[in-house]
């Protein structure tokens, strides 16, 4: 699932990853460090005391296997624990260390996020270790952290410090980092709503049992309509990533092309860097040759078949709406006129239905219920076109965030029935 190509220089790979981390405020100007270990044992690492917001490729530091340092700056002060992890797990090739707010909060209370919040989170991050405090930059910290990774963990919360993740490449390390940060933020939001529901191992296994392989059809030259839809869909997928409605490992978006065909995001391709050619065409239940579509393809196909007026679908896990999916808290839409007019009603689907019965899931949607909360799996929204589906997703997430924030202010005062009736008359559902 790496964002990067095998031909990308380590300087550029580190720069692109740090730009992404800093842009989403998952570290500070002075905090965090990334590294890549090459096959010969050399390590590329971010420099110390260089502004993360203005980092350049030439700022990256090369630390040779023999300890010789090459570069414009000294290497990160956390080099010792990077080296220690690589010694403990020689097959690892990328490490991310940063201070995202949610995971710093967990480190400050000496708690580890439970990745059994979502099926995907457990498979991406695995078990998360907790590393007791040692002085930053010290050899002792390296011993502690490397010890946790030598036990098999790929993610570790550092006591009162932040988080470290590692992978077979920097892209994999980043995806573990981003996914764990998403889990942490969701748990924090959900605890404001009530008791958080975590999944058992058998429940997680249900998600991995659904079929992923479809029969294929030979690819033909795309029509101009298909080319345009590919471009537009990619623009909205990347927009969803920028808006943090998707993360790199989660989120499915599809759009109907013809009566029995649609385009859908692929399986295990970074949502933040998706290109039109990455999208997968589904036609009469088959996928274009040589590609693997999202695991949600069966659900989308059933919904399009049941609902001719639906032309776009989104599975997403925006933090605030997802907080409602991992608790039993009701999501009240009578907050402001826009929330009610755009969404009308949001249904709730019990965990597992989306993995076991696409037909039943399709029947849960209707003109008066265009969005669903999927327990421990985010949300599903529909629309007559790409824009309407995306607007509903944004409104749903904004409404959820407002409801969570309102809890610190006082009791919720939803719009009265009289106001709702007036909205239904003024804005009838089509």
For residue 118, count CB atoms less than 10 angstroms from its CB and return exposed for 0-12, middle for 13-18, buried for 19 or more: buried
Asked if 241 and 360 sit in the same domain, the reply is: yes
Is residue 197 domain-resident?
Answer: no
Task: Report pLDDT for 430.
Answer: 57
Structural domain boundaries, residue 105: 10-191
Strands 261-264 and 252-258: antiparallel
Average pLDDT over residues 311-327: 97
Task: Report pLDDT for 61.
Answer: 97
DSSP string for residues in 249-284: TB-EEEEEEETTEEEEPBTT--GGG--GGGSEEEET
What pLDDT, in 10s, does the model give residues 10-65?
Answer: 999 999 999 999 999 999 888 899 999 999 999 999 999 899 889 999 999 999 99
Is residue 199 domain-resident?
Answer: no
pTM of the predicted protein model? 0.94
Asked if 100 and 244 sit in the same domain, the reply is: no
Is residue 135 domain-resident?
Answer: yes
Tell me the percentage of the chain whose pLDDT exceeds 90: 90
Tell me the percentage of the chain whose pLDDT exceeds 70: 98
Q: How many other CB atoms are found less than 10 A from the CB of residue 399? A: 25
**Radius of gyration from C-alpha coordinates of the chain:** 23
Average pLDDT over residues 214-233: 93
Asked if 179 and 252 sit in the same domain, the reply is: no
Task: Report pLDDT for 4.
Answer: 56
How many angstroms separate the CA atoms of 81 and 399, rounded? Answer: 42
- Which of 191, 219, 254 marks a domain boundary? 191
Give the pLDDT band (50/70/90) at residue 212: low
Asked if 161 and 284 sit in the same domain, the reply is: no
Asked if 166 and 244 sit in the same domain, the reply is: no
Task: Report pLDDT for 209.
Answer: 81
Contact 162, 155 (CB under 8 A): no
The token pair that represents 355 in the structure block: 């993995």
Asked if 225 and 135 sit in the same domain, the reply is: no
Mean pLDDT value across the chain: 94
Asked if 14 and 135 sit in the same domain, the reply is: yes
Asked if 79 and 145 sit in the same domain, the reply is: yes
Task: Report pLDDT for 183.
Answer: 97
- Which of 156, 191, 226 marks a domain boundary? 191
Q: What is the DSSP letter of 289?
A: T
Q: Domain count for the chain, please give it.
A: 2
Is residue 168 domain-resident?
Answer: yes
Is residue 373 domain-resident?
Answer: yes
How many angstroms separate the CA atoms of 391 and 191, rounded? Answer: 27
Asked if 185 and 325 sit in the same domain, the reply is: no
Contact 142, 154 (CB under 8 A): no
How many angstroms separate the CA atoms of 375 and 206, rounded? Answer: 13
What pLDDT, in 10s, does the model give residues 329-342?
Answer: 999 999 999 999 99
Task: Report pLDDT for 249.
Answer: 84
Is residue 154 domain-resident?
Answer: yes
Asked if 81 and 119 sit in the same domain, the reply is: yes
Domain of 254, CATH number, reads 3.40.225.10
Average pLDDT over residues 226-233: 97
Asked if 294 and 243 sit in the same domain, the reply is: yes
Asked if 36 and 78 sit in the same domain, the reply is: yes
What pLDDT, in 10s, does the model give residues 286-314?
Answer: 999 999 999 999 999 999 999 999 999 99
Q: What is the DSSP letter of 427?
A: S
Is residue 4 domain-resident?
Answer: no
Task: Report pLDDT for 1.
Answer: 42
- Which of 191, 221, 252 marks a domain boundary? 191
What pLDDT, in 10s, does the model give residues 66-98?
Answer: 999 999 999 999 999 999 999 999 999 999 999
How many angstroms separate the CA atoms of 228 and 243, rounded? Answer: 23
What pLDDT, in 10s, does the model give residues 168-179?
Answer: 999 999 999 999
Is residue 1 domain-resident?
Answer: no
How many angstroms separate the CA atoms of 151 and 145, rounded? Answer: 10
For residue 113, count CB atoms less than 10 angstroms from its CB and return exposed for 0-12, middle for 13-18, buried for 19 or more: buried
Strand order across the beta sheet in which 94-98 lies: 69-70, 61-63, 43-45, 33-37, 94-98, 162-167, 155-158, 128-131
Average pLDDT over residues 387-410: 97
């Amino acid at each position: 699932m790496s964002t990067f190509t095998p031909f990308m220089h380590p300087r550029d790979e580190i720069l692109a990853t740090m730009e992404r981390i800093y842009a989403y405020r998952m570290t500070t100007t002075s905090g965090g460090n990334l590294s890549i270990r090459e096959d010969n044992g050399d390590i590329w690492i971010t420099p110390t005391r260089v502004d993360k917001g203005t980092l350049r490729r030439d700022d990256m530091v090369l630390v040779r296997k023999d300890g010789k340092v090459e570069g414009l700056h000294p290497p990160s002060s956390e080099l010792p624990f990077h080296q220690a992890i690589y010694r403990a797990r020689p097959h690892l090739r990328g490490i991310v260390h940063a201070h995202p707010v949610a995971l710093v909060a967990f480190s400050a209370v000496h708690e580890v996020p439970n990745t059994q919040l979502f099926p995907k989170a457990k498979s991406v991050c695995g078990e998360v270790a907790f590393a007791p405090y040692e002085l930053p930059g010290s050899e002792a910290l390296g011993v502690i952290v490397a010890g946790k990774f030598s036990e098999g963990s790929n993610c570790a919360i550092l006591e009162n410090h932040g988080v470290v993740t590692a992978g077979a490449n920097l892209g994999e390390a980043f995806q573990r980092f981003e996914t764990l940060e998403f889990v942490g933020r969701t748990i924090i939001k959900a605890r404001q709503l009530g008791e958080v529901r975590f999944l058992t191992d058998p429940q997680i296994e249900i998600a991995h049992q659904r079929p992923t392989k479809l029969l294929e059809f030979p690819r033909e030259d795309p029509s101009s309509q298909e080319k345009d839809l590919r471009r537009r869909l990619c623009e909205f997928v990347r927009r969803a990533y920028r808006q943090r409605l998707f993360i790199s490992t989660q989120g499915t978006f599809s759009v109907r092309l013809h009566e029995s065909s649609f385009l859908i995001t692929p399986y295990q391709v970074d949502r933040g860097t998706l290109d039109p050619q990455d999208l997968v065409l589904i036609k009469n239940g088959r996928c274009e040759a040589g590609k693997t579509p999202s695991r949600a393809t069966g659900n989308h196909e059933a919904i399009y078949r049941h609902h001719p007026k639906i032309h776009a679908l989104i599975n997403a896990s925006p933090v605030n709406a997802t907080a409602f999916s991992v608790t039993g808290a009701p999501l009240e839409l009578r907050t402001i006129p826009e929330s009610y007019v755009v969404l009308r009603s949001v249904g709730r689907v019990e965990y597992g239905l989306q993995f076991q019965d696409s037909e039943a899931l399709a029947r849960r949607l209707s003109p008066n219920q265009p969005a669903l909360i999927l327990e421990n799996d985010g949300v599903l929204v529909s629309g007559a076109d790409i824009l309407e589906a995306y607007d509903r997703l944004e409104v749903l997430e904004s409404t959820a965030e407002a409801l969570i924030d309102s809890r610190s202010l006082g009791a919720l005062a939803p719009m009265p029935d009289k106001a709702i009736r007036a909205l239904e008359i003024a804005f009838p559902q089509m």
